[in-house]
Structure 1
Amino acid sequence: MTAGHCISSGQKYRVMLGEYNRSVIEGPEQTITVEKAIVHPQYDSNDVAKGYDIALLKLSKCAELTDEVQPACLPPAGYILPHGTECYVSGWGRLSTNGQLPNILQEGLLPVVDYKHCSQRDWWDFYVKETMVCAGGDKVAGCYGDSGGPLNCPGEDGEWEVHGTVSFVSGNGCDTIKKPTVFTRVSAYINWIKEKIENNLP
């Protein structure tokens, strides 16, 4: 699962599982080609703020589960994270707005900002939709290059759930005050995800 804006028509993709330090081969990495990429049909590449910024990737073969490669769960359909829930973003995006791209996987704690707050006029206003999740603040944020990466939150049973995929940040900077990182809210698309999986991603 990734963001719709990460997929370009006609391009071929591969997924690297178990990656940590991109500058060296550490051993646990698994490289698997993507057999098919399905972008949500209502995603508009000319206007990411409309929402539907989600895509599914069908791998050409099953991943081998190891200590370094484990699945995360999907959240319950329609579930809304409470304000202040502590979740984590991870990726190899820039370390700051104009900063370097790291070789080592980064992780950041991002408290959830509920829709009531995030949609206020001096925050994201109408750019954020109820099918999105805002998280983070003015010190820790997703940044350019983190697109499509997960917002992982602890579930009730102690398992990690993927509640979001990085969609966009402020053009004024990744950690702009009152402009938290915006994620596609995965729980809004559970029915679509299940339909595609059941139909073998047609």
Structure 2
Amino acid sequence: MRMPFELCLATAGKRVPDGLDWIHEVKHDGYRMLVIREDKRVRLLSRNGLDWTKRFPWIVEAALKNRQKHFAIDGEAVMLGVDGVSDFNALHSRKHDHEVQLYAFDVLAMDGDDLRPLPLHLRKTNLQRLLARRPDGIFIASFEAGEIGPELFRKACEFGLEGIVSKRRDRPYQAGRSRHWMKVKNRAHPATTRVMEAFA
């Protein structure tokens, strides 16, 4: 399936940016997901353009309950464990598809307007407005701004999280690989091992 929006992809980095122009988000171990609502129709598309609408019904239900009938959200489909941390093995097992939720971190379009040319901080504001009365199933991914990035990364590693993604707050949404989005991974996280094994 042809993607209606080409996703922005983070560039791998070794050091977390600490400047004032950066926004930092915890990297959750899940599947990248584009959620598109067009009136009464909702589609969930994977990063590779696969239609996973029937796979994650809770996300679809939450999107249909939103008062806004036209939007496109970029996020991560996750299965949360009892500790509140994303559990990739449970997600991958397909045994809990009905419990999978979406961490929404960007909005690409809303009410007929293409929001991609807007700087990230304004897209974040629009996303918060879109999900202000959100039902369970879709929630806003938390973020921190400014020089806190390296400390946030240390804490993410302490809690066994995958890492963080740092994004320039003043940049538009850029299709393809971007240096305005930097991903730094926790090397002790299982996701790192999975990637290494895949290329072994």
Fold shared by both chains (TM-score > 0.5)? no
Q: Which has the higher helix share?
A: 2
> Shorter-normalised TM-score: what interval?
under 0.3
Relative contact order (alpha carbons < 8 A, sep ≥ 6): 1 or 2 greater? 2
TM-score of the aligned structures, taking structure 2 as reference length: 0.25
